[in-house]
A and B are shown apart, each in its own frame.
Chain A
Amino acid sequence: MYAGKKNGLVEWLFVAPALIPFLIFVVWPFVSSLYYSMTRWNGFTSPVFIGFDNFGRLFREASFVAALSNTIVFTLAGLLISNVLSLLLALALNRAGRSKAVLRTVFYLPGVVSFVTMAVVWSSIYHYYGPINEILIRLGLESWTREWLGNFDTVMAALIIIMVWSGVGFGVIVFLAGLGSIPADLYEAADLDGAGAFAKFRYVTFPLLMSSVTIVTFLGLTTSLKIFDLPFLMTNGGPGDASTTLAMLIYKQAFSYSNYGYASAGGIVLFVLVGFISLLQIKATRGREVQL
């Protein structure tokens, strides 16, 4: 329908307003970060090319290794707990009848609140004089009380709980939509074949939910790999390095210590991690999806 040189120009003019900011603020920064990651650079003097030294230094440094392992723990725990919990909730809500809409709203509500607000609210919950310790004392479990965020053993769990609280609603919505799209006659056919409740879940519901699993897993992975606000605001990575994440370490190296080259190398590692896991994940789950 449309052809010719003039049309080509018109088409480029249409995409230009979205494309130009994207090239300047997404593509160019990414490409130049690749270069900066191989330099020694404090942001004021010009960068000095040092090859892969920054990367070698990263993996030798204990704080980076700690941040990397914390990030992986965040990601795996968040992924597992959120996926399982939101699937269970969606299965329950799917049969909840009239209360379904209200419950859906309740579970999604934490997702609309900012991490800043969450940090304030949950800091008070985990506070030494906060409700958790208060309830433990009233139950006669005084020996269990502690500074939840100031303790090496509990700080990660405390933060993971908040992440799950804020993220489960999204999973519930996606799984509910997935459940709603499964044709009822498949269950009828399973009934005729004498399938029990578990068999129906295993052979009908679960395979047909794989695309929902893909979505929830993919978004969960990328969000938790990049997690920054929550530990930054609540613990500042502490105690020690116990809750420092990769994103936080990069931020601090850049803006607190002006190690721009080093921070860029960290940024590339984070990108490779996010990119690699995203690819892997898409491949793995796409293969198992059932096409109707």
Chain B
Amino acid sequence: MGLLSKKDAKLITDPLADNNPITIQVLGICSALAVTAELKPSIVMAISVMFVLAMGSTVISLIRNIIPSKIRIIVQLVIAAALVIIVDQILKAFAYELSKQLSVFVGLIITNCIIMGRFEAFALANGPWKSFLDGIGNSAGYGIILIIVGFFRELLGSGSLLGYKVLGDAIEKTGVYAYGYENNGFMLLAPMALITIGIIIWVQRSRNTSLIEHN
């Protein structure tokens, strides 16, 4: 990466794997369980969070020296909330069905621990460019897990990807269904999302044993 210094690049790559907000810091789990029954809402949610976190971090960082520390949490909330409302309105205008599907979860981006966490821990102490990269990195780390979970849940649960029936038609018994394959409806329920995330955590820690906590 010629464009970014090594330190800056680390801000993006770290949260993707070794400091992933979901699998390592275990933040933002609720939305990861709720919206990942299909791939499409997972992707939209990932993009929305990326917009809110990157923009929010930059804005917070720009005004970090003039925020009265007494009300800094409220300021963070207001900025996150304003960005969330903008995302919500844009979705309602240009992707209405999707916004119905995401329903309350768009509004709940504001309660996503990753957002307030990065504002408080990073953006308040670092410059705007670094904060922007940190926002992109953390939301990408969040998004990548969402997309992995959404991919497997939609594939195994509904036999489709982004709505396309990639495994054949379950009712007319074409494709793999002709050989007796059945969709696993359980994948569509929230408990399986938790188990899928659990498996991702397991795979990640068995590949990189330094991540395992020792008490």
- Specify whether A and B are partners: no
